[in-house]
Amino acid sequence: MFSRRPISARLSRCGLRTVRICCDLHSSADVVISGGGMVGAACAAALAKLDVTKNKKILLLESAPKRSIEMKPEYSNRVVALNPSSVNLLEKIEAWETIAKHRYNPVYRMKVWEACSDASISFEDPGGQPLSYLVENDLVQKSLNAVLEHCNNLTVIYGRKVEKYSLPEDAHENLPETDVKIELDNGDTVETKLLIGADGNRSLVRESLGCDSMSWEYKSMGVVGTLELAEETENNTAFQRFLPTGPVAILPLSRRYSSLVWSLPTNQAKEKMNMAEEDFIAELEKSLWDGSNKNELVNTAALGLDVMLKSLVGERHTELPHRIKGVKNRAGFPLGFIHSTRYVGPRTVLIGDAAHRVHPLAGQGVNLGFGDVETLTDAVRDCLRDGAGLGDRSYLLQYESSRQRHNLPTMFSIDSLHRLYSTTFTPVVLARTLGLQITDSLSPLKRLLISHAAA
Q: Nearest 10 degrees: CA dihedral of 434, 435, 441, 447? A: -170
| Residue-level pLDDT at 311 | 60
- First and final C-alpha spacing in the chain: 39
Of residues 21 and 430, the one with the higher pLDDT is 430
| pLDDT greater than 60 at residue 451 | yes
pLDDT, position 9: 37
Q: What mean pLDDT is reported for the chain?
A: 90
**Percent of the chain with pLDDT strictly greater than 90:** 81
| DSSP single-letter state for residue 388 | P
Q: For residue 201, which of 32, 333, 352 has the smallest C-alpha distance?
A: 352
The DSSP element (H or E) to which 224 belongs, if any, is strand 213-229
Q: Using 50, 70 and 90 to split pLDDT, how confident is the model at 433? A: very high
- Give the lowest-confidence range in 156-165, 166-175, 214-223, 348-357: 166-175
The amino acid at 260? L
Specify the pLDDT at position 175: 92
Q: What percent of the chain has pLDDT over 70?
A: 91
pLDDT at 71: 93
pLDDT score recorded for residue 448: 83
pLDDT band at 4 (very low <50, low <70, confident <90, very high): very low
The Cα 237–Cα 131 span in angstroms is 10
What's residue 132's pLDDT?
A: 96
What DSSP string runs through 308-356? HHHHHH-------PPPEEEEEEEEEEEEEEEEES-SEETTEEE-GGGTE
Q: What's this model's pTM, rounded to 2 decimal places? A: 0.91
Q: Which H or E run contains 426?
A: helix 426-441
Q: What is the pLDDT of residue 133?
A: 97
Q: What average pLDDT does the segment 286-295 reach?
A: 94
- Of the candidates 410, 252, 399, 420, the one whose C-alpha atom is nearest the C-alpha of residue 324 is 252
At residue 10, does pLDDT exceed 90? no
- pLDDT reported for residue 442: 83
Does residue 5 surpass a pLDDT of 50? no
- What is the pLDDT at residue 310? 64
CA distance 373 to 41: 10
Q: Taking 60 as the threshold, does the pLDDT of residue 336 lie above it?
A: yes
- 55-64, 107-116, 305-314, 400-409: range with lowest mean pLDDT: 305-314
pLDDT band per the 50, 70, 90 thresholds, residue 1:
very low
Q: Using CA atoms, how far apart are residues 327 and 227, in angstroms rounded to an integer?
A: 5
**pLDDT tens per residue across span 123-146:** 999 889 999 999 999 999 999 999
User: 364 and 337 in contact (C-beta within 8 Å)?
Assistant: no
**How many CA atoms within 13 Å lie on the side-chain side of 414?**
25
Q: What pLDDT is attached to residue 246? A: 95
